[in-house]
Amino acid sequence: MKLNEVLDELVIKNRPISQYGNVANYIPELDKAQKDALGIFITDITGNKFHAGDWNTKFTIQSISKIVTLMLAILDNGEEYVFSKVGMEPTGDPFNSIVKLETSRGRKPYNPMINAGAIAVSSMIKGKDAREKFERLLDFFKLISEDSTLDVNYKIYCGEAETGNRNRAMGYFLKSEGIIDGNVEDALTVYFKQCSIEVTAETLSKIALFLVNNGKISTGETIIPPRVATIIKTLMVTCGMYDSSGEFAIRVGIPSKSGVGGGILSVVPGKMAIGVYGPSLDEKGNPIAGVALLEDLSKKLNLTIF
Ligand code: DON
């Protein structure tokens, strides 16, 4: 059976699972997504492309942006500085949890994938103000995805900025602890905008391909050192699916990062780059049918890295 046919079959099989989840509604506009949408786009290591279902539907990248911002923050500041401010350990708590910020011994966010850690990382992007910081970050997104059309969905951005009081609270707490050095509002603006970048499953597959190629774009140019690509992939395994990361590692076994917009970006080292879209989320904020689709695909093609 050809891979395109396999993907068609798996989308048909898993689409009904969408009914057991819900589209995110805590950010205005996200609830406009079609609940049973499901799509996948795969680029293999030799550049062949395969897709099925709603692979071309636009949605916002949300938390998947955290891995890209982390790459640029490490390029801008070095690994040592970044991880002096943000840890490397999974939390076992929800992505927007606040509780460990004050109780943890190091008094720093546990990892760069939870919102608190990601806001701290966004504050590290170099630039004289929020505009310059975000321009640099968007240019970096365009460079590694090789897609110059990427842009912010401003309706979603405004919704995030208006309703993101929990994120704002965490930002100010991090400032009071000396984790955020510069202006908190600048850090939050960069964070809300990066989450609101509009993508498709194909875009996610392109960013994943950059990681499959250990930080090289198609011209052969190295954009991030292989060491940084390894850090990102490792954090995807341990923290990429939040407090489901352990279960996901067992069920799917592919380094992945999810977002509440419905995306999952998955990297199968040495083999393929996968983008998934399915906006119906489980109770932990991961795409419910998208995870089931990846589980089936991983079993069928034996993609687990473990
Ligand atoms: O800050 C937030 O809550 C959102 N902009 C991003 C959260 C997210 O995508 C969590 N992912 N599952």
What ipTM was estimated for this complex? Answer: 0.95
How much is the pLDDT for 101? 82
Domain 1-60+198-299 has CATH 3.40.710.10: yes
User: What is the rounded CA–CA span in Å between residue 97 and residue 297?
Assistant: 31
Given this chain, do its domains 1-60+198-299 and 61-195 carry the same CATH topology?
Answer: yes
Residue 103 tokens read as 């109780």
Which of 30, 96, 158, 243 to mutate to test ligand 1, by most ligand atoms within 8 A of the CB atom? 96
Give distance in angstroms: CA of 259 to centre of ligand 1: 6
Alpha helices for the chain (secondary structure H)? 3-14, 65-77, 79-85, 100-103, 115-122, 130-145, 154-163, 165-176, 184-195, 201-212, 226-239, 245-251, 288-301
Measured CA to CA, the distance from residue 177 to residue 195 in angstroms comes to 24
Please state the atom number of ligand 1 nearest to the C-alpha of residue 164: 1
Question: What b/e sequence results for 229-245 when a residue is b if at least 16 CB atoms lie within 10 Å of its CB, and e otherwise?
Answer: bebbbebbbbbbbbbbb
Question: Which residues carry a binding-site annotation?
Answer: 63, 115, 160, 167, 191, 242, 260
Residues facing residue 277 across a β-bridge: 39, 263
Ligand 1 near 87 CB (within 6 A): no
Spatial neighbors of 220 by CB under 8 A, at least 6 apart, are: none
What is the number of residues in the chain?
306
Predicted local confidence at residue 170, as pLDDT: 95
162 CA from centroid of ligand 1 (Å): 14
Catalytically active residues are 63, 66, 191, 242, 260
Helix (H) or strand (E) holding 102: helix 100-103
pLDDT in tens, the chain (306 residues): 799 999 999 999 999 999 999 999 999 889 999 999 999 999 999 999 999 999 999 999 999 999 999 999 999 999 999 999 999 999 888 888 888 887 777 789 999 999 999 999 999 999 999 999 999 999 999 999 999 999 999 999 999 999 999 999 999 999 999 999 999 999 999 999 999 999 999 999 999 999 999 999 999 999 999 999 999 999 999 999 989 999 999 999 999 999 999 999 999 999 999 999 999 999 999 999 999 999 999 999 999 999
Task: Judge if the beta carbon of residue 96 lies within 6 A of ligand 1.
Answer: yes
pTM score? 0.97
Give the per-residue pLDDT at 287: 98
- Residue ranges of the annotated binding site for substrate are 63, 115, 160, 167, 191, 242, 260
∠ CA 42-47-50, nearest 5°, is 30
Angstrom distance (rounded) from CA 232 to CA 236: 6
- 163 CB near ligand 1 (under 6 Å): no
Q: Which atom of ligand 1 is nearest to the CA of 281?
A: 12
In short, whether 258's Cβ falls inside 6 Å of ligand 1 is yes
Q: Where in the chain are the domains?
A: 1-60+198-299, 61-195
What one-character DSSP code corresponds to residue 197? B
Matching CATH number, 61-195, of 1.10.20.60, 2.60.120.10, 3.80.10.10, 3.40.710.10: 3.40.710.10
Instruction: Return d(Cα 272, Cα 162) in angstroms, integer.
Output: 38
User: Is the CB–ligand 1 distance for residue 167 below 6 Å?
Assistant: yes
Q: Tell how far the Cα of 64 is from the centroid of ligand 1, in angstroms.
A: 8
CA torsion, ordered 155, 57, 187, 215, to nearest 10 deg: -160
Atom number, ligand 1, closest to the C-alpha of residue 260: 9
What pLDDT shows up at residue 136? 98
